[in-house]
Structure 1
């Protein structure tokens, strides 16, 4: 099955997205949600709380504590299930209907390192 490619964007649009490496320090359950977890992420110069829908995707979501992953850090904070999310984790597979995996650097780099 061929999956459609999303609409073309400009290089300038892509440059607006601030993608950085962060270490997931803590994974917690969002009590009033069936699918959300709360990630506490260290980006060296700042920390963020990022909500993600991995509660049903992993038997033990805390298995990703201590891992580095890629995050969008310049999204407008969004109120979800009564809590604010201050970014977005990049995962691979959800849109294709497979159990998502984190987008991670191939080796450890300093927290806060930017994509590009």
Structure 2
């Protein structure tokens, strides 16, 4: 079983049609709040994907590198078509994406330039 910080070889090959099933969009964080009730340190994010997707909530274990007051306005990538997941008393509606740093702590993924909200990764 691999971990979130696994840097081993690539996962098993999938078809391009399988990749297209994962809907990854860019959104702008509009609110970030501490989530002290979480088992592991986390923040509650509200992300604006614009258009028909709108505002979605996400729980993210990103407290090592990010403070809540620094996040509004930051663009991030998230999977928007997974079913909602209950994280304690909080319903996480999207999976905010990140990669591990050298210590396994999450670093958020986002575009290098400002792009329109709701843009799909291709």
RMSD of aligned alpha carbons: 1.8
Paired residue for 1:41, among 43, 47, 53?
47
The number of aligned residues is 113
Report the TM-score when normalising by structure 2. Answer: 0.82
Q: What TM-score, normalized to structure 1?
A: 0.86
Give runs of ≥4 in structure 1 deviating > 3 Å: 96-99
2:103 aligned with 1:103: no
> For residue 77 of structure 1, what is the aligned residue in structure 2?
84
C-alpha distance in 2 between matches for 1:52 and 1:30:
9
- In 2: Cα distance, 1:100 partner to 1:35 partner: 12
Distance in 1, matches of 2:90 and 2:104, equals 27
Match of 1:27 in 2: 32
Candidates 33, 52, 57, aligned match of 2:60: 52
Partner SS state of residue 32, structure 2: strand
Which residue of structure 1 lines up, in the alignment, with residue 3 of structure 2? none
Q: Which residue in the other structure is 1:89 paired with? A: 96
Indicate the residue corresponding to 2:8 in structure 1: 3
| Partner Cα distance (2:23, 2:74) in 1 | 20
CA distance in 2, matches of 1:15, 1:43: 18
Task: Give CA-to-partner distance per residue, 1:59-108, whole Å, 9 cap, x none.
Answer: 624322211111111110000112110011111226x6443322111211
Point out where structure 1 has 5 or more consecutive residues left out of the alignment. none
Which residue, 98, 117, 121 being the options, matches 1:115? 121
